[in-house]
Amino acid sequence: MIVETNVSDYTLVAILLIIIEEKEVYLVTFHSYIFKAVEINYNIHNKELLTVLNLSYLALLLKKIRALYRCYYKP
């Protein structure tokens, strides 16, 4: 999995990509967020860390959804 982030003063964008067989890249999730008034004052390192933590939470959520899907729709 690859995590790519882009942070400006007011917003962040993060994407989670997966590489299959070292040649095909697929988008797993896209996340955008507008900072709250307090978060605008964070330095860039903290904003990037906030982005990675948010995306890690989304990845965990996707794994749970996948497990539920496999539970109900067995191939």
d(CA 5, CA 27): 13
Q: What is the pLDDT of residues 53-69, one digit of tens each?
A: 777 777 777 777 777 66
pLDDT at 74: 65
- Segment 24-33 long-range contacts (CB within 8 Å, at least 24 positions apart): 28/1, 28/59, 28/62, 29/55, 29/58, 29/59, 29/62, 31/55, 31/58
Model's pTM, two decimal places? 0.58
Tokens of 54: 């948010």
